[in-house]
Structure 1
C-alpha cells in the first residue's frame, strides 16, 4: 500500500467549533486559514496522488465539524465529507479515515476531554458509532486516532496544544483515556468489516550519557511511547507509568495492522532531547534527518510484536531542501526493503504529506509535501512514484 496522509485541521483549516480555532484566536498559535486549500481542490489533489501511484490516502473527518454542539450533527458537513471520500474512490484512491487528529470540539474539551472516563465513554464512543454509520459504506480502512501515545505530552505534559498545562495527574488520566478510547474505537470500527490500523508516534531513545537524568528520561520515553500501548494491544493490559494496571482483555489484538509515524531518533543527553545522530543535517523542525531511527523502530516492533503486520503510517521531513527530502526517502525505503527481506511484515508506506499544509505552531512555514501549495509536484515525488508504479 503506497499512500499519503493528512489531517483535517492541517488541510482544511481549524473548524470554528474546535478548541484549536479558539487557540488561534487567543494568539496561542498561527492562524490556519483554509489549511492548504484541500476543501476546494480535493478532486485535483486526488488525481495528482493517483498519477504518482500513491493510491491510498488517510484523511481525518473533523469531529468539531460533524458535531459542533453536543448532540447536534451538521448534516452539511457529513454530506461534504461524503463528497470528498467519494471523489477519492473515483480517482482510484483507497480512503482511510481518522476520527481524531489532535483537535477536539470545544464542548467536549470543556467537559474534560479524554481525561474523564465517563466523558469519553459517553461522547467519544457515540461519535465513533456516528462516523461508522455515516461513512462506513465509503471508507476502505480506519486509522482511528493519531498518535495517542504522543497526545498526552502535547496537552498535559507542557506541550503547546490546548490546554498546554504541565499536570502529572491529568497527564496520566489522559494517557489512560486516549489509549483506551483508541482501542475501543478500533474494536467498534472492525465491525464494519474494513481493516483498522493504529498510528502510534514512535522513536527509539538513545542514551548519550550515563547520567541519572538521562536514565529517567529514557525510562519515561519507553514507558509512555512503547510499553503502555504494546501491553494494551498485545496482552490486553494497559500500564501508565506508576498507576495500577488496567486489565482489558477484550482490547487485545484489536488492530489489523500496527501503524506508526516516524520522524526522528530521540537522542537524550543530561535528560534533554538532542538531535541524533550528531552531524546529520537538520530539518526545519530541528530534527536530525536520518533514516537509521526507522530501522531501530522496525527492529523493536519485530522483537515486541513478532509476526504482526506493520504499516509505516507517516514518514516525511519538513524541509525546503527537496534534495534532502529525496535522500531521506531513498534511505527510508532502503531501510523498509531491508526489513522486509529480513522477515518483517511491512504492508504499506504512507508519506506525510501529499500537499504542503499548516504545521501547527510553525504555521505555513514548513514544507512536508511532495507537492507545494501551488500544486507543483516536487522532484522527490518521483522516488515514491518509481517504487509505487514499478
Structure 2
C-alpha cells in the first residue's frame, strides 16, 4: 500500500463567485449582465449547503478546504462593510471547523468589488497600498480566529493575463503595457498580503498558475514566446519570493528584499502543459486526449512542473493547491487522479518537499466563461459523490 508523509495536506478548493454566484456589487456581476459571460446565479448552492458539503468532504477524508471570502460581498461600497455578509462567512468557517474541516481562505479569486474596479483596480499602485492593504488587515482581524490557512490571491500570474491581454475577462482590455503593470502590482499585493497574514499564526501559501511551456521547434518566434511566457508566469512571482526582486518582462526590476521568503508554502495550480510551435501555443502532447476546455490531458506534466519548481526555488515547501480535470467522463478523471498521485509520489522519492494536494474542486461549479458546462467536482451539484472521489479517499486514508 502506498503511504504518504505524516501531516500531508489533503484538501479541495473552491471560490465564492463559482460556488455562490457573482456578488451583485462585483465587476464579474456587471460582466455577466453585459453579456460577456454566462449568468452564474447562485453558483452550486454552497451559500446554503456548505454544512452538507463539509460533512461529505470530512467523510471522504479531505480535511482541508479553501474558500474565498468575496471582497464585493463584505465591502460592497468603499468603506462600508456588510454585517450580514460578515456573519455569513463566519458561519461558513465555523461550520467547517465543526465538521472537522480546516478552512483556508483566499482574498482575491479573479473578481473585484465594482468600486475598486472603477478606481482602476490593480492598475493603480495606490489602490494596492491603500485599499488592498486595508482589506487584508481587516480580513485578518475579522476572520483570523477561524482561519487555519491562507492562500491570499488565486493564480496571481494568470489574472493579469486573462483581464488585460485579450482573454475576455473584465475589464476586457488587450494591452501588454496594462498587463505588465497589473502583473507587477498583483505580485506585490500577493506577497505583501502574505507577510501581513503570517501575523495571524496560520500558514500562508501562494497559488501560482504554473503551466509548463515546451518549445517544439527551433523557430526564433517559438523560442522567444517560450522565454517570454516563462518569465511572465514563472520568474516574476517566484523570483520575488526567491530573491526579493520582481522582474516582469519589459519593466525595470523592483527590489523588495522584505518580500523574499514571504510564503510558508509555494502553492500552485496545474492543469496542462502548453506546446509552442512556429511561434504559437498549441495543445501538448499532440496525441493527448483533449479536455472540454481544449487543453491536453497529461498528468505527467505535473511532474515536470514539480521538477522545475524544485529547481527554481530549491528547498521551498511545495503545495499542489489545485489539481483536477474538467470532464463528464468520471473514469477519465479517476485515471488522471491516480496518475497524478503517482507523480507526486515520484517527486517525494526524489526529495521534492511536497506538503499536500488540494483537488479542484469539491462540487461542480460555475466555470467562468464556460458557465456550467464543465464538470470539475468530486460531486455534482445535487451532491452525488462521483466514483473518482474514491481515489482520493483511499490515498488520504493510507
TM-score of Structure 1 vs Structure 2, range by shorter chain = over 0.9
Counterpart residue number, 1:226: 234
Counterpart residue number, 2:191: 183
Shift of the alpha carbon at 1:247?
0.5
SS at match of 2:284: coil
Is 1:359 the counterpart of 2:378? The answer is: no
In 2: Cα distance, 1:282 partner to 1:204 partner: 16
Is 1:286 the counterpart of 2:305? The answer is: no
SS at match of 1:275: strand
Counterpart residue number, 1:385: 393
Q: Specify which of 277, 282, 285 is matched with residue 274 of structure 1.
A: 282
Of 58-67 and 112-121, deviating more is: 112-121
Is 1:65 the counterpart of 2:61? The answer is: no
Is 1:201 the counterpart of 2:195? The answer is: no
Q: What are the Cα deviations for residues 245-291 of structure 1, in whole angstroms up to 9, with x where unaligned?
A: 10000000010000000000011112222111111111111111111
Alignment of 1:126-141 (within 5 A): 126-141=134-149
SS at match of 2:12: strand
Q: What are the Cα deviations for residues 216-253 of structure 1, in whole angstroms up to 9, with x where unaligned?
A: 21011111111111110011000110211100000000
Shift of the alpha carbon at 1:75?
1.0
Q: CA RMSD in A?
A: 0.7
Shift of the alpha carbon at 1:155?
0.7
In 2: Cα distance, 1:270 partner to 1:144 partner: 37
Counterpart residue number, 1:210: 218
Alignment of 1:199-348 (within 5 A): 199-348=207-356
In 1: Cα distance, 2:183 partner to 2:309 partner: 21
Shift of the alpha carbon at 1:164?
1.3
In 2: Cα distance, 1:212 partner to 1:110 partner: 40
Moved >4 Å (runs of 4+): none
Alignment of 1:11-26 (within 5 A): 11-26=19-34
Structure 2 gaps, min length 5: 1-8
Counterpart residue number, 1:76: 84
Structure 1 gaps, min length 5: none
Counterpart residue number, 1:5: 13
Counterpart residue number, 1:109: 117
Aligned residues: 390
The TM-score with structure 1 as length reference comes to: 0.99
In 1: Cα distance, 2:291 partner to 2:251 partner: 36
Q: What are the Cα deviations for residues 361-385 of structure 1, in whole angstroms up to 9, with x where unaligned?
A: 0000100001001110000000000
In 1: Cα distance, 2:149 partner to 2:271 partner: 23
In 2: Cα distance, 1:18 partner to 1:268 partner: 35
